[in-house]
Amino acid sequence: MTAEQPRHPALAATDPELAALVRAEEQLQADTLRLIPSENYVSQAVLEASGTVLQNKYSEGYPGRRYYEGQQNIDLVETLAIERARSLFGVDHANVQPYSGSPANLAVYLAFAEPGDTVMGMALPMGGHLTHGWGVSATGRWFRGVQYGVRQDDGRIDFDQVRELAMKERPKVIFCGGTALPRTIDFAAFGEIAQESGAVLVADVAHIAGLIAGGAHPSPVPYADVISTTTHKTLRGPRGAMLMCREEHAKAVDKAVFPGLQGGPHNQTTAAIAVALKEAALPSFRTYAESVVANAKALAEALLARGFDLVSGGTDNHLILMDLTPKEVPGKVAAKALDRAGIVVNYNTVPYDPRKPFDPSGVRIGTPSLTSRGLGVEHMAQVAEWIDRGVAAAAKGDEEALAAIRAEVAELMAAYPAPGLTV
């Protein structure tokens, strides 16, 4: 794009400083190999929908039941998003208003528990999410969080432990799903335990919603009372969230989101969610979801061949959790070095991590973004080689090697333009 015709002309005129930062971020997203498994590139259509005048409108309430007038168009926008969510995931009811994944989960607690009640989820250092009852989160302070984990020997969920804990503690709500789980979630097993113990089962599929929509991960619909998801991870929509449930819970969920927790919905986000859901219903999205998993499996194989220690020994989904202990590099040192090499990852605790959460042993990577750019299994040996060289360079403090990788990465990424970017 030329200097005379900036991408955001009004923004560039009003606030050149901010426009330059947006431009720089776009360049960074173009040049780097983005491996953070919770990130993605949205389509130009999703970007456009999220930057519309829909954002000027207040719409407290739900379609047909609003507290403000002038909803002729907004009602139709939200109804489109709801109907597309119902059809894509095969659910009775969808609420598309939660501002993001954490408020969506808070709404679930509001719907099904009282302060001080016992709730159950996977421990954060085991791969769970903060909002699954972890102590520093409001959900762990206002509720009594009891936490399950994975087995130390194979990194898999220990369902005997989950059942025992649920029967002993009788939680009101059980969360399954997480942020660092490289393996298929057995929703049927969780469903059985929730039924036995009388708990509401919440499947938090924030990370894998796109894989479920694309048929690359089993659906929780037959087993979960409520499904919580963000819309911006593998689902490739705007930053937002949805709650889906059976008809019997529809009223409780809606009441908890509004007026329980939120005011006006972000209509521009609702519109962009509707667009993303339309895209996710296309046959090409099934191909995308399958490729995300095929790429992750190929990358895991290539990393294993290079002596990397992967939690649970590999992956079934889009995500890989590496324990760098055998490489003798702390996760944070590796993550920061890889960032300088143009490979964007995040440091992460591994189960039973002897190191501190702010300086853990692991690095978490994933394939949603690179797959959106069209990279395939044939590229994964190269990606593994860069990671291997980058981690070795981190151990030695070899900045020259990192700069060399950065140049190679930028060259490959230039050949695979990202959706939504103009650079």
Ligand X SMILES: *Cc1c(COP(=O)(O)O)cnc(C)c1O
The answer to whether the beta carbons of residues 306 and 282 sit under 8 Å apart is no
Rounded CA-CA distance 42/106 in Å is 26
Q: Give the span between the Cα atoms of 193 and 132, in whole angstroms.
A: 17
Is 66 assigned a catalytic role?
A: no
The one catalytic residue in 230, 231, 270, 367 is: 230
Q: Which is nearer to ligand X, 105 or 267 (CB)?
A: 105
User: Could you tell me the smallest distance in angstroms from the CB atom of residue 296 to ligand X?
Assistant: 16
CB 317, min distance to ligand X, A:
12
Which of the following is catalytic: 26, 39, 58, 169? 58
- List all residues 6 or more positions away from 42 whose beta carbon is below 8 Å from its beta carbon: 50, 232, 236, 237, 238, 272, 276, 419, 420
Q: Judged by CB, which is closer to ligand X: 101, or 145?
A: 101
Preceding peptide of 98 cis, ω within 30°: no
230 as an active site residue: the answer is: yes
The minimum distance between CB 177 and ligand X, in angstroms, equals: 5
Q: Is 356 a catalytic residue?
A: no
Smallest CA-to-CA distance from 105 within 243, 247, 254 is with: 243
Q: Are strands 65-66 and 173-176 parallel, antiparallel or unpaired?
A: unpaired
67 is catalytic: no
Phi, psi of 204 (to 5 degrees): -95, 95
For residues 338 and 240, what is the distance between their CA atoms, to the nearest angstrom? Answer: 29
Residues in contact with ligand X by the rule CB under 6 A:
38, 100-102, 105, 129, 131, 177-179, 204, 206-207, 230
Q: Which is nearer to ligand X, 101 or 237 (CB)?
A: 101
**Residue 124: CB minimum distance to ligand X, A:** 11
Please name which of 349, 325, 294 lies closest in space to residue 178, comparing C-alpha atoms.
349
Active-site annotation holder among 23, 34, 183, 233: 233
Burial class (CB in 10 A: 0-12, 13-18, 19+), 257: buried
CB of 353 to ligand X, least distance (A): 19
Under DSSP, the state recorded for 309 is E
Q: Which is nearer to ligand X, 205 or 409 (CB)?
A: 205
**Does 57 participate in catalysis according to the annotation?**
no
Helical segments of 281-362, H only:
283-305, 331-340
Q: Which is nearer to ligand X, 244 or 384 (CB)?
A: 244
Annotation says 278 is catalytic = no
CA angle 351, 147, 320 (to 5 degrees): 30
DSSP state of 181: -
Active-site pick, 204, 279, 316, 353: 204
Alpha-carbon Rg of the chain, whole angstroms?
A: 22
Which one, 101 or 362, has the nearer CB to ligand X?
101
Angle at 350 between CA 403 and CA 384, to 5 degrees: 35
Q: How far is the CB of 184 from ligand X (least distance, A)?
A: 15
Nearer to ligand X, 133 or 178 (CB): 178
**Out of 60, 158, 186, 398, which one is annotated catalytic?**
60
Q: How far is the CB of 205 from ligand X (least distance, A)?
A: 8
Candidate list 7, 57, 144, 239, residue with the active-site label: 239
Name the residues annotated as catalytic. 58, 60, 204, 230, 233, 239
